[in-house]
Amino acid sequence: LKTLNPYDLFDVRSLLSEEERAVQDSVARFTDERVLPIIGDCFDQGRFPTELIGEIADMGLLGSSLPEQYGGAGLNSVSYGLICQELERGDSGIRSFVSVQSSLCMYPIYAYGSEEQRMRWLPDMSRGKVIGCFGLTEAHGGSDPASMKTRAVKDGGDWVINGSKMWITNGSVADIAIVWANTDEGVQGFVIEKGTPGFTAQEIKHKMSLRASVTGALFFDNVRVPDANRLPNVKGLKGPLGCLTQARYGITWGPLGAAIACLDEVLAYTKERILFGRPVAATQSAQIKMADMARRITAGQLLVLQLGRLKDAGQMQPQQVSLAKWNNCRLAIDIARECRDLLGGAGITTEHGAIRHALNLESVITYEGTETVHQLVIGRELTGINAF
């Protein structure tokens, strides 16, 4: 019998192209060498490791799917998924940083912006010289972005924006904010630069989750931006929701990385931990738990690979992304919590990764559409009835 790779029982890697494998390997190396040695401390200190931004950019991970003329790496969607998976094996906060920059900030400028806007921002964003954030959620109800109160009013050649956004990744460190606001012609996107009078950002403190990521609130008090900062090629909620489809796609892959990190940790720990005269790994209940983790990871891997192939073929539907985001966030948070349990008391400090991943995944299962939102998307697909 051939011994199987415990983190890839169905040899999903054999279905990858040479280029996809090379991308996975280089990001895996980055996570092993640069992220894992520092991330526990970053989480403890509530600090995003800004010192890694340059390397992340040099590896081509910012806007990796965009064409090279805009600073992108022209990689396919499966490669983007693998990037997210390997980064989140390190920490959800690192993957979040790349998701937001690539899918929520560079993507809308690329997809909805003018050629001038693309050239103005994208190359610098791919180099990590300009950091973006994406402001859709408002404090009164993130699941229902149609209830948005932030408003932009035309005034001559300018727009005047009033309102606020809440829970914004990179909010207080970003150089530009992609802000979605209601206008007389429906929801539109604006690029608001740091330092614009009336625009302020405040870091949200006391987080117990995604502590190695910056989260902020944005405030707009008569913020005036020229029409050149409005994204001209989309109107309506489909603008921001289209960005969410891109980011959610990455998040279907990312949590698999967190789950694999946790399984890796308990496989090693339970072999070393001797209780009642034998390793914990030699007990049936521990084996059943770990086997069940591997089963869920394997199913999740096959799900996202097919999703990625559909995306690369231009056939992926947002409802399929909802199913995969729900499935893989759920399996990852359950696995992280079960691994924390198998580590016993040792599982409660950041010495081991399980509790950090479990806490991070509380955000990941909530942002980009809560689990309930994605369940209701599938419910609507099955029944044809909107139950939101």
Name the minimum Å distance from CB 363 to ligand FAD: 4
Q: How far is the CB of 170 from ligand FAD (least distance, A)?
A: 7
Q: Which is nearer to ligand FAD, 216 or 342 (CB)?
A: 216
Should residue 164 be labelled a site residue for ligand TGC when binding is judged by CB under 6 A?
A: no
CB of 369 to ligand TGC, least distance (A): 4
Name the one residue in this structure whose structure tokens are 């625009």: 199
What residue is closest to ligand FAD based on CB? 142
3-state secondary structure labels for all residues of the chain = CCCCCCCCCCCHHHHCCHHHHHHHHHHHHHHHHHHHHHHHHHHHHCCCCHHHHHHHHHCCCCCCCCCHHHCCCCCCHHHHHHHHHHHHHHCHHHHHHHHHHHHHHHHHHHHHCCHHHHHHHHHHHHCCCCCEEEECCCCCCCCCHHHCCCEEEEECCEEEEEEEEEEEECCCCCCEEEEEEEECCEEEEEEEECCCCCEEEEECCCCCCCCCCCEEEEEEEEEEEEHHHECCCCCCCHHHHHHHHHHHHHHHHHHHHHHHHHHHHHHHHHHHCEECCEEHHHCHHHHHHHHHHHHHHHHHHHHHHHHHHHHHCCCCCHHHHHHHHHHHHHHHHHHHHHHHHHCHHHHHCCCCCHHHHHHHHHHHCCCCCCHHHHHHHHHHHHHCCCCC
Which residue, 298 or 370, has its beta carbon nearer to ligand FAD? 370
Under the binding rule (CB under 6 A), the answer on residue 172 touching ligand FAD is no
Q: Is 388 in the site for ligand TGC (CB under 6 A)?
A: yes
Can you give the three-state secondary structure of 259-279, one letter per residue? HHHHHHHHHHHHHHCEECCEE
In whole angstroms, the minimum distance from the beta carbon of 184 to ligand TGC comes to: 16
Q: Which of 318, 337, 350, 375 binds ligand TGC (CB under 6 A)?
A: 318
For residues 201-240, which are near ligand FAD according to CB under 6 A?
210, 215
Establish whether 20 is a catalytic residue: no
Residue 182 engages ligand FAD in binding (rule: CB under 6 A): no
With CB under 5 to 8 Å by kind, the binding choice for 141 among ligand FAD, ligand TGC, none is: ligand FAD
Tell me: does residue 163 bind ligand FAD (CB under 6 A).
Answer: no
Residue 266 interacts with, from ligand TGC, ligand FAD, none (CB under 5-8 Å by kind): none
d(CA 125, CA 70): 9
Q: Is 236 in the site for ligand TGC (CB under 6 A)?
A: yes
**C-beta closer to ligand FAD: residue 10 or 219:** 219
Contact with ligand TGC (CB under 6 A) among 79, 99, 229, 320: 99
State yes or no: residue 135 binds ligand FAD (CB under 6 A).
yes
Q: Which is nearer to ligand TGC, 296 or 325 (CB)?
A: 325
Nearer to ligand FAD by Cβ, of 244 and 280: the residue is 244
Residue from 245, 252, 270, 360 that binds ligand TGC (CB under 6 A)?
245
Return the closest-CA partner of residue 8 out of 30, 24, 26. Answer: 24
Give yes or no for residue 249 binding ligand TGC (CB under 6 A). no
Residue 150 and residue 104 in contact, taking contact as beta carbons nearer than 8 Å: no
Triad 359, 257, 30: Cα angle to 5°: 105
Window 336 to 375, contacts with ligand FAD (CB under 6 A): 363, 366-368, 370, 372-373
Report whether 70 contacts 122 (CB < 8 A): yes
- Residue 318 binds: one of ligand TGC, ligand FAD, none (C-beta under 5 to 8 A by kind): ligand TGC
For residue 190, the minimal CB distance to ligand FAD (Å) is: 14
Catalytic residues: 368
Q: Which residues contribute to the site for ligand FAD (CB under 6 A)?
A: 100, 133-137, 141-143, 167-169, 210, 215, 363, 366-368, 370, 372-373, 388
Q: Which residues contribute to the site for ligand TGC (CB under 6 A)?
A: 96, 99-100, 134, 136-137, 142-143, 145-146, 169, 236-238, 241-242, 244-245, 247, 318, 367-369, 373, 377, 388
